[in-house]
């Protein structure tokens, strides 16, 4: 039988304990960084994403005559959406540019007419005609969603989320 001095046994135990603790700490840090990144990307800074899934599909919104304009911008908004409110200055510019080019702009909301009208006044978009439809009925899972629709109601392009300045320019150039 071999006997090791107590100092060697203690040193080995301490080394093993230290390696295990370092591994645990590194694993914990990796988890925190990963979750933080996912949370930030998903909740704090949603980047507008082109929604190619809707492209080519017909948008069904009651009381909208798609043929009355060569294109129609459809904004799907929610009163409690901070990204919708943050996008209001762009929507004001969009409306201004669109009307100069004879492109209609409408807002679609799932909230009541009164709530939507109050919200649109609050963010300076009271001039937008509104339609009331659930986001599920229109095929939208997140707001804001912006559609560019042709004369037949077919979606030409769409974006979800708050637009970057580059994406805003893409929308304005698509009018």
Residues 27 and 78 in one domain: no
Residues 160 and 75 in one domain: yes
- For residue 46, which of 82, 98, 88, 94 has the smallest C-alpha distance? 82
- For residue 140, which of 73, 51, 72 has the smallest C-alpha distance? 51
3-class state of residue 32 by DSSP = helix
Q: How many domains does the chain have?
A: 2
Go through the chain and tell me how many residues it has.
Answer: 175
Q: What is the pTM of this model?
A: 0.70
CB-side exposure of 49: number of CA atoms within 13 Å? 12
The 10 Å CB-count burial string (b at 16+, else e) for 51-68 is: beebeeeebebeebebee
| CA–CA gap between residue 161 and residue 73 (Å, rounded) | 15
Residues 14 and 81 in one domain: no
Output the pLDDT for position 42: 47
Which parts of the chain have pLDDT scores under 70? Answer: 1-17, 20, 25-26, 31-53
Output the pLDDT for position 62: 87
Range of the domain at 90: 49-173
Output the pLDDT for position 20: 62
Residues 112 and 139 in one domain: yes
Output the pLDDT for position 22: 73
């Amino acid at each position: 039988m071999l006997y090791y001095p107590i100092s060697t046994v203690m040193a080995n135990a301490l080394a093993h304990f230290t390696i295990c603790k370092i591994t645990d700490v590194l694993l914990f840090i990796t988890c925190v960084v990963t979750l933080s990144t996912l949370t930030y990307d998903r909740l704090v800074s949603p980047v507008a994403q082109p929604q190619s899934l809707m492209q080519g599909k017909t948008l069904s919104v009651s009381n909208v005559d798609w043929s009355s304009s060569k294109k129609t911008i459809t904004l799907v908004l929610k009163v409690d959406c901070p990204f919708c409110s943050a996008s209001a200055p762009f929507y004001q510019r969009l409306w201004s540019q669109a009307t100069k080019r004879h492109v209609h702009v409408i807002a679609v909301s799932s909230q009541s007419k009164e709530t939507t009208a109050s919200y649109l006044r609050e963010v300076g978009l009271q001039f937008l005609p509104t339609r009331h439809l659930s986001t599920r009925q229109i095929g939208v899972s997140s707001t804001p969603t912006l559609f560019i629709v042709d004369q037949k109601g077919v979606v030409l392009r769409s974006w979800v989320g708050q637009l970057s300045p580059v994406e805003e320019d893409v929308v304005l150039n698509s009018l």
